[in-house]
Chains A and B, each alone.
Chain A
């Protein structure tokens, strides 16, 4: 008798609760934003007033694929990728007691095939104007991004979504250093430049929802 009572009461409640749970939490996907930073590290040693050139090759595609794998997604789930900001910071300061001021530019170009032609750019990506190295020591300083360089990166990221594997080359163009380093007062420091970009992932996109 008691078991019959129990079943009579439990069955409708179980159905209501199960249906409620299923309805409320059905289709829980939403547009996810993943922010990622791509950084390059450069060591400098200068004995004159001219900053040397430094070239760094960046395989964006590899980074993006790793991020998508981490979030159990693939390139078809990506709704957009865009550049958010740029920063730089001194990671190993100069041993000199005085400050140094640097003026330079970082340019960017696209060369998907190492032995092939440059297919986009070069364009100015970052402007460093009278940047105090002490002010950039240990903390990321927002960089002045140049719209031509950002547009080049955006084009490369758009092509990534269509299955291409863009390869970008960043070049620190020779700039000026004040005061001018010398053999007795050399400038030796390390710095890191980073570009933050965001990937918007929509898992319903490939399902056509």
Chain B
């Protein structure tokens, strides 16, 4: 009964946080629709990189995986990727037959809210859309960790679907991962070591064909180490990441749906963190260093039903 109440509260809290991101999808499609394709990658790039970096945070808080014994962890991780000044603008090029073609520094999706204008031939004028003036891209994700069998544990990041109205669209994130203890094979190792792989999928918004406006897949393969000192456990890790994002939207003036794939240019990140183990709860704080740095805070409740 206690566990069911915990789970219910957990889900409610997670939904609250995830819903706060929904207005982004509604306006994102509107903003993108004025671009026929060539400017869309530059406009979205900071958000793509931040989303990728966020998705790789909070995947673990220890490299210690018991050899066997059922343990269940209910976790909530809050990630925050901060944007720099360089993320706020990109070099955009006029579209839609505007003459003469001109390049200008215009807002990215996280940049200033104001539109940018350029004047052309015969009194014509071209406007580039504004951004959302975001200082960071933050979201929280609940996850379930289940172990251990032969020093292996599984991680499930929960899928969250919000049945929003046509203006808001849906938001979902889910993923699965496996981690395996390496230190179980090496005697007298002063630290715990583990390796792991995680796959995640993220989608945001609805396009006019009722498909996803944005859908992304992320892979990460890495190794982690940690050392427990009483109730404190510093941990670190490095990982190779692969992130791809598909975009599908209807342009204002394009006859066909505009579809494109964007890949994150960042493929490695390092993690430094500290977790505090208090009774059955673990509080973690970590900093992920990569193309886009991410700060993460997490809380885990660990249960050992068979103990």
Residues of chain A touching chain B, judged by Cβ–Cβ distance below 8 Å, are: 2-3, 5-6, 9-10, 13-14, 16-18, 20-22, 24-25, 28-37, 71-72, 79-80, 82-87, 140, 142, 144-147, 149-151, 154, 196, 198, 200
- Report whether A13 and B76 are in contact in the complex, using a CB–CB cutoff of 8 Å: yes
B127→A198 contact, CB < 8 A: yes
**The residue from A10, A21, A36, A142 contacting B20, defined by CB atoms under 8 A apart:** A21
Are B17 and A17 interface neighbours, CB within 8 A?
yes
Interface of A is mostly: mixed
CB of B230 within 8 Å of the partner chain: no
B133 and A5 within 8 A (CB): no
B96: contacting residue among A5, A18, A85, A200, CB under 8 A = A85
What CA separation (Å) do A164 and B236 show in the bound complex?
Answer: 66
One of B27-35, B216-224, B267-275 at the interface: B27-35
Residue B187 lies at the interface, judged by CB distance under 8 Å to chain A: no
Which of B117-125, B176-184, B238-246 contacts its partner?
B117-125
Q: Knowing that A32-B30, A84-B124, A85-B97 are A-B contacts, what are 9 other residue pairs whose CB atoms are under 8 Å apart, sorted by A's residue number?
A: A3-B5, A5-B281, A21-B21, A30-B113, A35-B253, A84-B125, A144-B122, A145-B121, A150-B124
A146 with B33: in contact, given A31-B114, A31-B115 (CB under 8 Å)?
A: no
Interface centre among A9, A30, A34 (most CB of B within 10 A): A30
Supply 28 A–B pairs (Cβ within 8 Å), ascending by A.
A5-B279, A6-B6, A6-B301, A9-B299, A17-B17, A21-B16, A24-B135, A24-B136, A25-B20, A25-B23, A25-B24, A29-B27, A30-B31, A30-B107, A30-B113, A30-B129, A30-B131, A31-B115, A84-B97, A84-B124, A85-B98, A85-B99, A85-B124, A87-B97, A150-B122, A150-B124, A154-B123, A196-B253
Residues of B near any A CB (own CB < 8 A):
2, 5-6, 9, 13, 16-17, 20-21, 23-24, 27, 30-31, 33-34, 76, 78, 80, 96-99, 107, 113-115, 120-136, 138, 140, 167, 252-253, 279-281, 283, 297, 299, 301
Residues of A with C-beta under 8 A to B123: 83, 145, 147, 150-151, 154
The docked-state distance in angstroms from the alpha carbon of A18 to that of B20 is 9
- Closest residue of B by beta carbon distance from A3: B2
Contact indicator B140/A17 (Cβ below 8 Å) = yes
- Interface hub of A35, A83, A150 (most chain B Cβ within 10 A): A35
Decide yes or no: A30 and B34 within 8 Å by CB, A13-B299, A146-B122, A147-B122 being known contacts. no
Bound-state CA distance A198–B131 (Å) is 17
Q: Is the CB of A142 within 8 A of B252?
A: no
**A8 to B111 CA separation, bound complex (whole angstroms):** 39
CB distance from B82 to the nearest CB of A (A): 11
Closest B residue to A12 using CB positions: B299
A17 proximity list for chain B (CB < 8 A): 13, 16-17, 76, 78, 140
Assembled-state Cα–Cα distance A72/B166 (Å): 11
- Closest residue of B by beta carbon distance from A14: B13
Chain B residues with CB under 8 Å of A14's CB are 13
Q: Tell me which residues across on chain B come within 8 A of A3, comparing CB atoms.
A: 2, 5
Contacts of A79 in B (CB 8 A): 115
A172–B190 Cα distance when bound, in Å, is 86
Assembled-state Cα–Cα distance A83/B98 (Å): 9
Task: Kindly list chain B residues whose C-beta atoms are within 8 Å of the C-beta of A154.
Answer: 123
B115–A84 touching, CB < 8 Å: no
Report the nearest B residue to A18, measured CB to CB: B16
Chain A residues whose C-beta falls within 8 Å of the C-beta of B283 in the assembled complex = 9
Q: Are A28 and B30 within 8 A (Cβ)?
A: no
Question: Among A33, A79, A83, A200, which residue has the most Cβ atoms of chain B within 10 A?
Answer: A33
List chain A residues, Cβ under 8 A from B127.
Answer: 33, 80, 82, 198, 200
- Most chain A CB within 10 A, of B98, B120, B127, B136, is at B127
- In the bound complex, residues from chain B placing their C-beta under 8 Å from that of A6 are 2, 6, 281, 301
- Are the C-beta atoms of A36 and B252 separated by less than 8 Å? yes
Instruction: Determine if B124 and A145 form an interchain contact, defined as CB atoms under 8 angstroms apart.
Output: yes
A79 to chain B, nearest CB (A): 7
**Nearest Cβ distance between residue A5 and chain B, in whole angstroms?**
6
Are A83 and B125 in contact, with the CB atoms below 8 A? Answer: yes
A28 touches B132 (CB 8 A): yes
Report the bound CA distance from A2 to B21 in whole Å.
32
Q: How far is the CB of B205 from chain A (nearest CB, A)?
A: 13
Query: Is B27 within 8 A of A30, CB to CB?
Result: yes
How many Å from the CB of B132 to the closest CB on chain A?
A: 5
Least CB distance from B111 to A in Å reads: 9
Q: How far is the CA of A25 from the CA of B9 in the complex (A)?
A: 23
Contacts of B96 in A (CB 8 A): 35, 84-85, 196
What chain A residues lie within 8 Å of B136 (beta carbons)?
A: 24
Q: Which residue of B lies closest to A70 (CB)?
A: B30
* B124 A2 Cβ-Cβ under 8 A: no
- On chain B, the residues within 8 Å of A200 by CB distance are 115, 127
